[in-house]
């Protein structure tokens, strides 16, 4: 069996490749014989996010020779160790209470037995697995006794020679009763010198076709994190209340802050590990790819039916059209339309693609996203009920009359910019008053521009403005208790704005929005109960972005159909596109994971008169090609 398929189960945890790393907080003897210290360390492990806490138990009379137990005959190092063990050992009754405490706190309790008598005691606590210390890798009497219990084993390989590891693996594998076990790479020095750790040995251990982990005794967290990246699926580190406490393990242990940092890093690495599948372009890269990469552009005017030749083209940014490596594929093709000098080249320039229809059939008002510069071209090929201006901050300083005709038959909405000059991301929720006041100023400017557009669209008396209101953070999600303050800040911002002649629609948000190629953490307008509560307090309605809400549902394990039905009474406009995972937003319909066969009937039932746009990322490219594909897929279903 290939290692990648090898796993074992301990209690509710599946341990193996492509699984969540199993993190053991090794308390060992770091409680220093004080029950309350043990409880404090368990709480620290839980707060940090460990899966398991592990202790050690010894029956000294069975573990050590009678001579070693005599102060007069034992050597100095043994006497030192025995003195600490006698001083720091907990009673079995205390271990029983610790086991029950772990069960109540929903964290796994394990304990390393150092002798057979200790195994019998732990059996009374019904531990689900056993850890065998490095010192007992060659103790086949103990290993035999543990194998009889038919429970998973975790063996540390510290202090062992290669042939000893080979022998014990062979020995356990030859047992009549199949025992699932894992091996931990380990250097049993406390603390272990970096030069002696040899993390590369993790890869060599994988030849045994069992789950491989790492038990670390080094200073800091970097080496342990590297072990995760090398494939360790079990991580064990000692934790302590204070590294300066008396005892042999404290100096090689992590205090609360570092242990939390370690587990946070492990979880980040898990996400970053990915798989060995073919590389795909991520959502953030797609944005930067267009902004930074190059495309094939026409270097001359190309007439219809002209044959493409190399000297007709040049490579320029932004990368909106065909990538430069496609040039060899288009040479010799015939232009099926005129191409202006300076235009990017698309497949539609030489092959037929889906085109806009003058009239689409929907039972509700539908819109397309537009910019000032392309509104007239798009309205020449189709007749939407509404258009939705997707504004940039530069558009707010333009004169609309330079782009717009005198009057339009359709109505209009406006999508507010997220980014304003000097890299100011709109945030009407932030506790930073100066930043929020600047956002209010920008928002008011947008409102004033929106009011000025009404003369071009006489059928719209109170235009809607879709807004990503803010509430984002750079590096982590904010605590729930702060959200209340953020929502109140937004209410205060709305109170300041002169918005009587417009309707502001906060947009439902995705957990990891992409702000111009960089990921952020979004905190507001994802949770249904928060959205409904905000409506009850303010009367504000919302723009339901279907892709955004789907990603939020994936992140928090919510039902997307129930989500859509719950906020339908408070929805004034829909943005419709597909989505994937927790951050793959704005995909073409059918290219993601949204179940539109389930979702669209819900929208039809609970939001019969509510307008929508196809909100496909870069749908406007190549004269709106992405919009026409979406509308064709949605036609007759809304």
Q: Which of 22-26, 344-348, 484-488, 502-506 has the lowest mean pLDDT?
A: 344-348
Is residue 464 predicted with pLDDT exceeding 80?
yes
For 535-556, what is the mean pLDDT? 96
CB neighbours of 94 closer than 8 A, spacing ≥ 6?
Answer: 35, 38
C-beta of residue 494 within 8 angstroms of C-beta of residue 539? no
Residue 189: HSE in the Cβ half-sphere, 13 Å Cα cutoff:
11
pLDDT band at 280 (very low <50, low <70, confident <90, very high): confident
- In whole angstroms, what is the distance from residue 471 CA to residue 253 CA? 38
Question: What are the backbone dihedrals phi and psi of residue 516, each rounded to the nearest 5 degrees, phi first?
Answer: 60, 50
From CA 410, how far away is CA 416, in angstroms rounded?
20
- Whether 36 shows a pLDDT value over 90: the answer reads yes
Sign of the alpha-carbon torsion through 581, 582, 587, 590: positive
Rounded mean pLDDT, 368-390: 93
Nearest alpha-carbon partner for 162 in 224, 204, 209: 204
Q: Given this model, what pLDDT does residue 557 score?
A: 96
Measure the CA–CA gap between 227 and 222, rounded to whole angstroms: 9
Q: Residue 483 has which token pair?
A: 């959200």
Number of neighbouring beta carbons within 10 Å of residue 291: 13
| Residue 354 near residue 579 (C-beta atoms within 8 A) | no
Radius of gyration of the chain (CA): 32
Rounded distance between C-alpha atoms, residue 616 and residue 282, angstroms: 16
pLDDT tens per residue, range 476-526? 899 999 999 999 999 999 999 999 999 999 999 999 887 655 678 999 999
Q: State yes or no: pLDDT of 355 exceeds 90.
A: no
Q: Given pLDDT bands bounded at 50, 70 and 90, which one contains residue 344? A: very high
High-pLDDT (> 90) share of the chain, %? 76
DSSP character string of 539-553: ---EEEEHHHHHHHH
pLDDT exceeds cutoff 60 at 343: yes
Q: What angle do CA 596, 601, 602 make, to 5 degrees?
A: 95
Distance from C-alpha of 421 to C-alpha of 1, rounded to nearest angstrom = 58
pLDDT of 69? 46
**Distance, CA of 29 to CA of 84 (rounded, Å):** 9
Structural domains in the chain, sorted by start: 6-272 (3.20.20.70), 283-349 (3.90.1210.10), 367-634 (3.20.20.150)
State the chain's mean pLDDT as an integer: 90
Residue 79 in this model has a pLDDT that exceeds 90: no
Residue 450 above 60 pLDDT?
A: yes
Sequence length of the chain is 638
What are the pLDDT digits (tens) for 237-266?
A: 999 999 998 887 888 899 999 999 999 999
Query: Which percentage of the chain shows pLDDT scores above 70?
Result: 94
Confidence band, pLDDT 50/70/90 cuts, at residue 279 = confident
pLDDT at 61 over 70: no
Among candidate residues 288, 235, 239, the one with its CA nearest the CA of residue 266 = 235
In 4-55, alpha helices (H)? 35-48
Lowest mean pLDDT among 63-72, 150-159, 214-223, 358-367: 63-72
pLDDT computed for residue 186 by the predictor = 95
278: which DSSP letter? P
- The per-residue pLDDT for 187 is 94
More confident residue, 351 or 493: 493
Closest CA to 505 of 561, 566, 570, 451: 570
The answer to whether 437 and 496 are in contact (CB under 8 A) is no
Give the pLDDT confidence score for residue 1 in this predicted structure: 36
Q: Residue 73: which pLDDT band, with cuts at 50, 70 and 90? A: very low
Residue 307's nearest CA partner among 331, 277, 275, 273 is: 331
Cβ distance 487 to 529 under 8 Å? no
The reported pLDDT for the residue numbered 515 is: 67
Question: What is the per-residue pLDDT for 219?
Answer: 93
Q: Using 50, 70 and 90 to split pLDDT, how confident is the model at 95?
A: very high
Q: Assign 284 a pLDDT band (cuts: 50, 70, 90).
A: confident
* C-alpha pair distances (Å), 553 with each of 28, 282, 299, 558, 564: 40, 20, 47, 4, 10
For residues 614 and 249, the model is more confident at 614
Q: What is the pLDDT of residue 70?
A: 52
Residue 85 has pLDDT above 70, yes or no: no
351 vs 74: which has the higher pLDDT: 351
Query: Distance between CA 114 and CA 62 in Å, rounded?
Result: 9
Would you call the peptide bond into 629 cis, given omega within 30 degrees of 0 as the criterion?
A: no
Please list, in sequence order, all residues whose beta carbon lies within 8 angstroms of the beta carbon of residue 230, skipping any fewer than 6 positions away.
Answer: 199, 200, 202, 203
Mean pLDDT (whole number) for 329-340? 93
Query: What distance in Å separates the CA atoms of residue 468 and residue 490, rounded to the nearest whole number?
Result: 11
Instruction: Give the pLDDT confidence score for residue 518 in this predicted structure.
Output: 64
Structure-token match 């720091």, residue found? 88
State the Cα torsion 524-529-532-533 to the nearest 10°.
-80
pLDDT at 4 over 50: no
């Amino acid at each position: 069996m290939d290692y990648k398929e090898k796993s074992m189960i301990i209690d509710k945890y599946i341990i193996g490749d492509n699984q969540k790393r199993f993190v053991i907080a090794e308390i060992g003897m770091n409680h220093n014989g004080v029950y309350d210290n043990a409880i404090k360390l368990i709480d620290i492990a839980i707060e940090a996010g460990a899966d398991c806490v592990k202790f050690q138990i010894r029956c000294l009379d069975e573990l050590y020779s009678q001579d070693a137990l005599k102060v007069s005959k034992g050597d100095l190092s043994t006497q030192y160790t025995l003195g600490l063990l006698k001083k720091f050992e907990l009673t079995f009754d205390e271990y029983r209470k610790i086991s029950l405490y772990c069960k109540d706190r929903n964290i796994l309790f394990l304990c390393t037995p150092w002798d057979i008598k200790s195994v019998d005691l732990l059996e009374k606590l019904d531990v689900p697995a056993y850890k065998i210390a490095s010192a007992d890798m060659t103790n086949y009497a103990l290993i035999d006794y543990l194998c009889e219990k038919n429970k998973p084993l975790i063996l540390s390989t510290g202090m062992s020679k290669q042939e000893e590891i080979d022998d014990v693996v062979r020995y356990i594998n030859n047992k009549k009763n199949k025992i699932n076990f894992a091996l931990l790479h380990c250097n049993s020095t406390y603390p272990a010198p970096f030069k002696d750790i040899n993390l590369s040995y993790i890869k060599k251990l994988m030849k045994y076709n069992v789950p491989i982990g790492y038990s670390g005794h080094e200073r800091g967290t970097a080496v342990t994190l590297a072990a995760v990246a090398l494939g360790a699926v079990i991580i064990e580190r000692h934790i302590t209340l204070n590294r300066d406490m008396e005892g042999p393990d404290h100096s090689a242990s992590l205090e609360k802050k570092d242990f939390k940092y370690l587990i946070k890093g492990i979880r980040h690495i898990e996400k970053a590990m990915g798989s060995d599948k073919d590389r795909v372009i991520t959502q953030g890269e797609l944005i930067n790819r267009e902004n930074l990469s190059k495309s094939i552009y026409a270097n001359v005017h190309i007439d219809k039916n002209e044959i493409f030749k190399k000297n007709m083209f040049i490579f320029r940014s932004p990368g909106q059209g065909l990538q430069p490596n496609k040039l060899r594929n288009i040479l010799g093709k015939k232009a099926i339309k005129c191409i202006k000098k300076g235009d990017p080249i698309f497949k539609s320039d030489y092959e037929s693609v889906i085109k806009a229809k003058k009239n689409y059939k929907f039972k509700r008002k539908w819109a397309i996203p537009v910019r000032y510069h392309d509104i007239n071209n798009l309205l020449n090929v189709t007749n939407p009920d509404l258009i939705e201006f997707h504004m940039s901050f530069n558009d707010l300083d333009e004169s609309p009359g330079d782009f717009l005709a005198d009057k339009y038959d359709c109505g209009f909405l406006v999508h507010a910019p997220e980014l304003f000059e000097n890299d100011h991301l709109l945030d009407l929720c932030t506790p930073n008053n100066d930043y929020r006041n600047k956002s209010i100023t920008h928002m008011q400017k947008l409102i004033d521009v929106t009011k000025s557009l009404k003369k071009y669209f006489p059928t719209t008396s109170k235009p809607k403005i879709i807004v990503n209101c803010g509430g984002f953070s750079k590096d982590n999600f904010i605590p729930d208790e702060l959200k209340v303050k953020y929502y109140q800040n937004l209410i205060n911002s709305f109170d300041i704005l002169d918005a009587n002649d417009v309707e502001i629609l906060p947009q439902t948000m995705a957990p990891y929005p992409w702000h111009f190629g960089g990921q952020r953490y979004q905190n507001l307008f994802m949770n249904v109960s928060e959205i409904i509560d905000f409506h009850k307090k303010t009367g504000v309605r919302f723009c339901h972005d279907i892709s955004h809400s789907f990603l939020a549902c994936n992140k928090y394990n919510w039902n997307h159909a129930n989500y859509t039905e719950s906020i339908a009474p408070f929805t004034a406009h829909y943005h419709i596109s597909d989505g994937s995972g927790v951050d793959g937003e704005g995909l073409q319909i059918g290219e993601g994971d949204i179940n539109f066969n389930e979702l669209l009937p819900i929208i039809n039932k609970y939001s019969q008169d509510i307008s929508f746009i196809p909100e496909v990322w870069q749908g406007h490219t190549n004269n709106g090609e992405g919009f026409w594909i979406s509308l064709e897929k949605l036609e007759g279903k809304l």
